[in-house]
Chains A and B, each alone.
Chain A
Amino acid sequence: MDGEERFREIIAADEKVEPGDWMPEGYRQTLIRQIAQHAHSEVIGMQPEGNWITRAPTLKRKAILMAKVQDEAGHGLYLYSAAETLGVSRDELVRLLHEGRQKYSSIFNYPTLTWADIGAIGWLVDGAAITNQVALTRTSYGPYSRAMVRICKEESFHQRQGYEIMMVLARGSEEQRAMAQDALDRFWWPSLMMFGPHDSESTHSDQSMEWKIKPVSNDDLRQQFVDATVPQAEYLGLTIPDPDLRWNAERGHYDFGEIDWDEFWRVVKGHGPMNRERMAHKIEAWERGAWVREAAVAHAAKRTAARSA
């Protein structure tokens, strides 16, 4: 049996494609693009939340937030590791990000303005991410799927800590309640945008679905997220900023309003509130670290030379 036949058979049987297998070049490129984008998002995602570690209001919240931001660094690392099995280096992917030739999730181009944003991000952004990532554990590429399993295990506390922050604020002072509502107002629509364009608009989806890289469609995942989240907002006594949101008994789902796609495209194309700051931070950190990375290599070479001398 030739490689292509075997590949089709593996996909058809819902088995995992593994690094040594023959795969269509398009499959490889799609995976590299998607995994890298996912990895970049985890790493850039450290910034908006990292923005509040030094200002976290209690020792406990500080530890939780630091552990969470650290987890996101770990998630980036696992994903780059998976991408490398496709024959590309992490350095190369980082370079493509820095040159603006690869993207990260637009959600991280919104600023974290108050402490409540940390609650809203955990609850909504991690909530949306988890919805997506749970689906992706079934992706057809073995290393990506395993990275997703590892990540989903760690994510379990991210959403809960965010929701807990929201619960405390929602039953707190007038100012705290207002802070919580404001955070929900600002993060609700960007969270829905995380699932991407409508299935009808999404150029990648068909091929990705056929290869089982992306097992569930954007719109289905978005609906799943809305259905799970509405009762959570109700429990908090907060109002989701969507006048068209209502339960549709016939469909057994919530109906919700249309995303502002102009805003969506604006942010994707680099004109969101924080695009420039996020990239500038990332690139500056990388450049500041250059002498350290080089020194480590030089030191290792000296040690090797000393041993063999």
Chain B
Amino acid sequence: MDTITTSRPLATYLIRHGDDNLVLAQRLAEYISWAPELEEDLAIANIALDHLGVAHHLLAYAASVEGDGRDADALAFLRSEREFTNLLLVERPNDDFAVIMVRQFLFDAYQVPLWEALAGSADTTLAGIAAKAVKEARYHLRHSRNWVVTLGDGTEESHRRTQHAFDELWRFTGEMFVGDALDTDMAAAGIGVDPASLEAPWRRTVLEAIADATLSEPEDTTVRVGGRSGFHTEALGHMLGEMQWLQRAYPGLEW
């Protein structure tokens, strides 16, 4: 911790990853009661609950590191769109089941090596959260990969939809591996991980599944960034409007 001169960078770092999990949990929550089978409704709720739990842990820890009176709920419900620092990928809307599963798969393939690395963080609280999260992420990956392969190599329609989902989401994947000064500092301090180091394992996982799914790697080379600096797609504002509405409409109350 010595190289970090104030607590801000650590809090900011925790909030980023907290936001990833919160925003994805919220997207999955929107989908409950819309799954193709009852079993899948249960599965998606489990995944959403895992992400929500991780978000809660990270935001609560961030709030305590900040030490200026905010709690996890204040971070979740009272920050504006420009203050959210999640990856753009996780805020993409639930267009269809293929998009939901491919989005999940692309993110799971990133989170597994991320948590593996952070489980060795010099910050023991973060390491503890990561050690728990990695077990969940491995399961999420097994689940989403199973669906990606099933849908890719299913019917003509499911193949088309799944390929389309990869093509649509591909430009949001590069952002996961683009680091900034904070990432560099946190990695140097042994607290965080260099995002670039996660790309190789991610690619291995993703390309292998794409092949098993009889799909092709998207050709899109666009890398759309902005999430970590609060420059989002238009989808996020609507999501937050819904998520934060009650806290904003009745400020300062207990629920």
Direct contact of A and B (CB under 8 A): yes
Task: List the interface of chain A (C-beta within 8 A of B).
Answer: 43, 46-47, 50, 53-63, 66-67, 69-70, 73-74, 76-77, 80, 90, 115, 165, 168-169, 172-173, 175-176, 281, 285, 288-296, 298-299, 302
- Which residues on B sit within 8 Å (CB–CB) of A56? 246
Please report which residues of chain B, range 98-136, place their CB below 8 angstroms from some CB of chain A when the two chains form the complex.
Answer: none
Q: Is B245 at the interface (CB under 8 A from chain A)?
A: yes
Question: Which bucket holds chain B's interface residue count?
Answer: 35 or more
A66 in contact with B49 (CB, 8 Å): yes
B32 in contact with A57 (CB, 8 Å): no
- Which residues on B sit within 8 Å (CB–CB) of A80? 38
B97 in contact with A43 (CB, 8 Å): no
Known: A46-B33, A54-B242, A298-B155. A66 touches B48 (CB 8 A): yes
Please report which residues of chain B, range 55-71, place their CB below 8 angstroms from some CB of chain A when the two chains form the complex.
Answer: 55-56, 59
Please report which residues of chain B, range 207-250, place their CB below 8 angstroms from some CB of chain A when the two chains form the complex.
Answer: 242-243, 245-247, 250
9-residue interface stretch from B72-80, B186-194, B195-203: B72-80
Closest to B98 in A: A292
**B13-42 vs A, Cβ < 8 Å mask (1 yes, 0 no):** 000000000100110011011111111011
A50 in contact with B255 (CB, 8 Å): no
- Which residues on A sit within 8 Å (CB–CB) of B9? none
Known: A76-B38, A176-B253. A294 touches B154 (CB 8 A): yes
Q: Is B93 at the interface (CB under 8 A from chain A)?
A: no
Residue contacts A-B, CB under 8 angstroms, 16 given: A43-B38, A50-B32, A54-B30, A55-B243, A58-B73, A58-B255, A62-B25, A67-B45, A69-B33, A73-B33, A76-B38, A172-B254, A288-B34, A288-B96, A294-B154, A295-B151
Which of A59, A66, A169, A172 has a CB less than 8 Å from the CB of B73?
A: A59
Complex alpha-carbon distance, A73 and B32, angstroms: 10
- Which residues on A sit within 8 Å (CB–CB) of B155? 291, 294-295, 298
- Report the minimal beta-carbon distance from A70 to chain B, rounded to whole angstroms: 4
Which of B39, B42, B55, B154 has a CB less than 8 Å from the CB of A59?
A: B55
- Report the minimal beta-carbon distance from B235 to chain A, rounded to whole angstroms: 14
- Report the minimal beta-carbon distance from A51 to chain B, rounded to whole angstroms: 9
Q: Is B81 at the interface (CB under 8 A from chain A)?
A: no
A293 in contact with B36 (CB, 8 Å): yes
Closest to A293 in B: B36
A77 in contact with B38 (CB, 8 Å): yes
Known: A67-B45, A295-B158. A289 touches B35 (CB 8 A): yes
A61 in contact with B255 (CB, 8 Å): yes
Complex alpha-carbon distance, A71 and B72, angstroms: 26
A173 in contact with B250 (CB, 8 Å): yes
- Which residues on A sit within 8 Å (CB–CB) of B150? 295-296, 299
Complex alpha-carbon distance, A47 and B39, angstroms: 16
B49 in contact with A285 (CB, 8 Å): no
- Which residues on B sit within 8 Å (CB–CB) of A70? 32, 41-42, 45-46, 49
- Report the minimal beta-carbon distance from A251 to chain B, rounded to whole angstroms: 39
A73 in contact with B30 (CB, 8 Å): no
A285 in contact with B34 (CB, 8 Å): yes
B36 in contact with A292 (CB, 8 Å): yes
Task: List the interface of chain B (C-beta within 8 A of A).
Answer: 22, 25-26, 29-30, 32-39, 41-42, 45-46, 48-49, 52-53, 55-56, 59, 72-73, 76-77, 96-97, 149-151, 153-155, 157-158, 161, 242-243, 245-247, 250, 253-255
- List 6 A-B pairs, minimum CB-CB distance, nearest first: A289-B36, A295-B154, A295-B158, A70-B45, A57-B255, A292-B36
B33 in contact with A285 (CB, 8 Å): yes
Complex alpha-carbon distance, A159 and B33, angstroms: 21
- Which residues on A sit within 8 Å (CB–CB) of B55? 59
- Report the minimal beta-carbon distance from A134 to chain B, rounded to whole angstroms: 24
B52 in contact with A59 (CB, 8 Å): yes
- Report the minimal beta-carbon distance from A281 to chain B, rounded to whole angstroms: 7
B161 in contact with A73 (CB, 8 Å): no
A53 in contact with B29 (CB, 8 Å): yes
Q: Taking A47-B33, A55-B242 as given, write out 4 further A-B residue pairs in contact, using a Cβ cutoff of 8 Å, ordered by the A residue number.
A: A73-B45, A80-B38, A288-B34, A289-B97
- Which residues on B sit within 8 Å (CB–CB) of A299? 149-151, 153-154
Known: A59-B55, A69-B45, A292-B36. A54 touches B154 (CB 8 A): no
Complex alpha-carbon distance, A265 and B246, angstroms: 35
Complex alpha-carbon distance, A221 and B72, angstroms: 43
- Report the minimal beta-carbon distance from A168 to chain B, rounded to whole angstroms: 6
B254 in contact with A168 (CB, 8 Å): yes
Complex alpha-carbon distance, A74 and B40, angstroms: 11
Complex alpha-carbon distance, A84 and B107, angstroms: 37
Complex alpha-carbon distance, A80 and B39, angstroms: 12
Of A76, A168, A285, the most chain B CB neighbours within 10 A belong to A285
Complex alpha-carbon distance, A176 and B77, angstroms: 19
- Report the minimal beta-carbon distance from A299 to chain B, rounded to whole angstroms: 4
A63 in contact with B52 (CB, 8 Å): yes
Complex alpha-carbon distance, A50 and B28, angstroms: 12
